A and B are shown apart, each in its own frame.
Chain A
C-alpha cells in the first residue's frame, strides 16, 4: 500500500481563520477542513504512515488519522486511491481523541465537502406546471419535454 500523499495539483487552497478550504478544479468539489484535519493533510507527504502521523500529532491511536485520511480520499484530496486500512467511525475517532495525550488537539478532525452546483442547479427551479426544457429546470427533476412543463 502506498503512503498517503496530499494532492497539490489542480486544487485551490484558501485559509480562513482555523479552517482551510480546498476547491478541486477537476471535479468541482469544495471541502472544508478544520485545523486538525488540515494538519493531517499537510503531514501526508508520501513518507509517513498513518501511525507516523498520529505519533507526530501526539495521538496514542491512529484511528482518528485513518478516519480523516479516508475522508480526504473521498474528497479527492489525496493523490493515490489505494484502499486505506479499516478504521473507526467518526464517533469512535472522537472518543479516541478525547483520550489522547495532546491537549491542544481539542477539536476532532472535521471534513465537510460539497459538489459545487452548476448555475442552473443553484438558481430557482420550476414548480409543477412551469415551463421547462430539461429535468434540471424543475424542482421535481421531471420535465415533460414534449408538453414543455414540469411534472410533480
Chain B
C-alpha cells in the first residue's frame, strides 16, 4: 500500500472552488458606496464578457452583458444625450444575460436583466427583455439625477412656454401630447418633464409611445409622423394640465391653488421619496410660474386647441 506523503503545511480540502473567471477591466462591476449592496457582489461572480459606461443628467450608468453581440443592440436603445463615460464606479449597473435555446438541447433559458442586484426582467423573448432594459435605464436616470427632477408627464413647448401633462399610465398623456404636436406645439417628451432648480422644463427626447387600446402594447412612433419638431433647450413653465381621458367627459377646468398643484405634481415625481427637499424646491419654482388646471377630458384633438388657447391667454395676461 502506497502512502501518499503530504507536505507538512498541507491542509485537507473538502470543497474545490473553481477559479473565478477574470473579467475584462472595462466591464462595469463597481457601484458607488451609496448604492452598493452585498447581494450585488453575488451578481459580480457571474461571467460578464463585455460592457460600457454612459453618463446622462449627471448619472453614471454601467451596462454589462453575457454576450458581446448585445452591445450594439443595447447602445442603440439609449437616449441620444447619453455620452460615453470612463469611470470605475457607477451610480447604477444594468446587467443583461442573453437567454434562448441552449445548443444541442431542448432547454430554453430566460433572457434576464438586473438593475444592480434586483431582477427587473425575466423574459421569454429578447424583445421583451430589451423593452425592460430601455424602461429601466430611463427610470434609473430619472431616479438618480442629482440636479434634475423628473416628473412622469408629457411636455410640449408653445410660444416660449412649456405645457406639462402629468399623469399615471393610461391617463392619455401620449395621445394628448401627440395632439398638441399636431396642433403646432414643439415636442419635449411624452414620458418625462425634466425640471431644473429654476423650474425650467428640459426635453427627454424619445419617440412617442402610443397604444391602440388600453390593454395593447405601446408602439414607438417618431415625432415626424405627427408633423412635429423636437424643441431644443429648456422652456419656462406656463401651464400644468392635470387631466385624464374619460368618455363623454365635459372639459371644465378648475384652477388649483399652489399647494394642491404641488401635491398633484409630487404625485408623479420619480424621486419624491429620495430627495424631497430638492423636489419640493423645483415644484415650488414651477407652480410659481405656471397656472395649474384640472379636468377630465374627451377627445384629444379638441382639448389640444383649448389648452393652447388657454396658455396664450394666460401668457398674454401676465405680460
Bound: A32/B280 CA distance, A: 12
Interface hit among B17-25, B75-83, B209-217, B237-245: B209-217
Which one of A14, A119, A123 lies within 8 Å of B280 (CB-CB)?
A14
Question: What is the interface residue range for chain B against chain A?
Answer: 35 or more
Which one of A113, A116, A148 lies within 8 Å of B123 (CB-CB)?
A148
Q: Is the CB of B121 within 8 A of A122?
A: no
Taking CB atoms and an 8 Å cut-off, the chain B residues in 282-309 that contact chain A are 284, 287-288
Which residues of B are found within 8 Å of A128, using beta-carbon distances? Answer: 215-216
Question: What is the interface residue range for chain A against chain B?
Answer: 35 or more
Q: Does A125 sit at the interface, judged by CB under 8 A?
A: yes
Taking CB atoms and an 8 Å cut-off, the chain B residues in 236-294 that contact chain A are 257-260, 262-263, 266-274, 276-277, 280, 284, 287-288
> What distance in Å separates the Cβ of B59 from its nearest Cβ neighbour in chain A?
13
User: Which of B123, B129, B272 is packed against the most chain A CB atoms within 10 Å?
Assistant: B272
Dominant SS at the B interface?
mixed
Which residues of B are found within 8 Å of A131, using beta-carbon distances? Answer: 121-123, 128-129, 131-132
Q: Does A106 sit at the interface, judged by CB under 8 A?
A: no
Binding site for A on B (CB under 8 A): 110, 119-124, 128-129, 131-132, 135, 139, 142-143, 152, 168-170, 191, 211, 214-218, 257-260, 262-263, 266-274, 276-277, 280, 284, 287-288
Known contacts A34-B259, A119-B270, A119-B274; 7 further A-B pairs (Cβ under 8 A): A14-B280, A25-B276, A30-B266, A122-B269, A123-B152, A131-B129, A148-B128
22 contacts between A and B (CB under 8 A): A12-B277, A16-B262, A17-B257, A17-B258, A30-B276, A32-B257, A34-B259, A116-B273, A117-B273, A119-B139, A123-B135, A123-B142, A123-B152, A125-B169, A127-B211, A127-B217, A127-B218, A128-B215, A129-B216, A131-B123, A131-B132, A139-B169
